[in-house]
Amino acid sequence: MNTIKSEIIGELKQDEQFDDWWESEPIEIPFFNNKKINIIFMGLEPESDTEFIKEADEALKLFIEKSETDRLLISNLVHKNCMDFLNAVGFDESNQQLWNIKDENQIWDLVQPTGILISRRSYKEQDIYVDINCECDWEQEHGLQLVFRQGKKITRVSQIDGHLTDADAYGKPDSEDELLSQFNENGNNSKKEWWKFWK
């Protein structure tokens, strides 16, 4: 079985079914109180994307430095995702516990991370994104995903749908993607983006 080496999380083994998937052993993730979670590099063909592992390691280093405190900073976004779903489906007594949440931080008691996917965005700036897939008590069919661009900043909170950004999911410009556009406004543009201004 083929393997690749990450300086941050060690050895990843090539998936037997998908040649461009590489999976680590479970890694302690401080963001989730050191819960051990498998990390998968997705869409990686080492010969054709020689920078992937380096960029993935940079993103993982930044993400793994995040703590429970960082997680609580996005409680409002996850709670909003829950409330938006509940409002969309209408009141159901089985969801009473969710409607009763008073403290947004309590939402994390209803979220169970299942895996972390590292992949390169197919469109636009082609940055590396850290995509955390979770099960959650409100959206049991499609789950919850938390996406961090370059491992730095949350840029999407949504159901799991295979897209890294709302812009890609809904075919709209990055500037109209609320969280993604905030990443740009904070001066965290990738080098690839900065070159656009100097051409």
Does 1 score more than 50 pLDDT? yes
Number of domains in the chain: 1
The answer to whether the CB of 26 falls within 8 A of the CB of 37 is: yes
Which tokens hold the place of 69?
């405190």
- pTM to 2 decimal places: 0.88
Domain span including residue 37: 3-198
**Which positions ≥6 away from 191 have C-beta within 8 Å?**
none
pLDDT tens by residue, 162-197: 999 999 999 999 999 999 999 865 545 444 443 333
Average pLDDT for 142-154? 97
Note the pLDDT tens digit of each residue in 55-84. 999 999 999 999 999 999 999 999 999 989
